[in-house]
Structure formats: C-alpha cells, structure tokens
C-alpha cells in the first residue's frame, strides 16, 4: 500500500506543478510587462524633459543670436565712425604739415641773410 500512496502523491505533486506552471509563467509575464511599462514611463519623462531643455536652449540661442546681430551692427557703425575720424585726422595732419612747411619756407630765406 505504501507504493500506491507514493505514486498518488507523486501524481498529485506533478498535477500541482503543472497547474501552477502556467500561473507562474503568467505572473512572470505580468511582472515583465509591468517593468517594461515602468521603463516606458521613465523614457517618456526623460523625453519630455529633454524636449523642454531643447526648447529653452533654442530660445536662448535665438536670443543670443539676435543680440549678436545687434552688436555686430553697432560694431560696424563704430568702425565706419572710426574710419571717418581717421580720414579727418589724416586730412588735418596733411593741412598742418603743409602749414608747417610753408612756415619753414618763409623762415629759411631770412636766416641766410645774416
């Protein structure tokens, strides 16, 4: 009698293992699906965060570019003003040099008469 009882126990254990097997597989699959969904949520969050950072950086870049364009226009205007001032200085220096040369010419003939 001992032998048939152990066979029944073995069959019962095998039946339980078979019955729990699909449930365990289902449970593991559900856990995997839950973990995958959690990863999707994390990825969505990171995507939204990256998109926000990109929009902020792009807006900052556009503002900096606009400011740079304004400064470039100011620099070009200042360069033109500098070139005009240099031209006026050169003309004034030329007039001054001519006047000094005229004074030198007038005063040189007087010096040799001594």
What DSSP string describes 82-108? HHHHHHHHHHHHHHHHHHHHHHHHHHH
User: pLDDT tens digits for the chain (114 residues)?
Assistant: 444 555 555 555 556 555 556 788 899 999 999 999 999 999 999 999 999 999 999 999 999 999 999 999 999 999 999 999 999 999 999 999 999 999 988 888 655 555
Cα-trace Rg, the chain: 48
Length of the chain: 114
CB within 8 Å of 69: residues ≥ 6 apart? none
Rounded Cα distance, 90 and 96, in Å:
10
């Amino acid at each position: 009698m001992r032998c048939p009882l152990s066979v029944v126990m073995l069959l019962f254990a095998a039946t339980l293992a078979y019955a729990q097997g699909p449930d365990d597989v289902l449970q593991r699959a559900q856990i995997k699906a839950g973990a995958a969904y959690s990863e999707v949520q994390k990825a969505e969050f990171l995507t939204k965060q990256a998109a926000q950072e990109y929009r902020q950086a792009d807006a900052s870049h556009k503002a900096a570019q606009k400011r740079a364009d304004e400064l470039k226009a100011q620099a070009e205007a200042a360069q033109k003003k500098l070139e005009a001032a240099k031209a006026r200085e050169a003309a004034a220096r030329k007039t001054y040099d001519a006047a000094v040369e005229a004074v030198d010419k007038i005063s040189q003939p007087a010096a040799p008469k001594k």
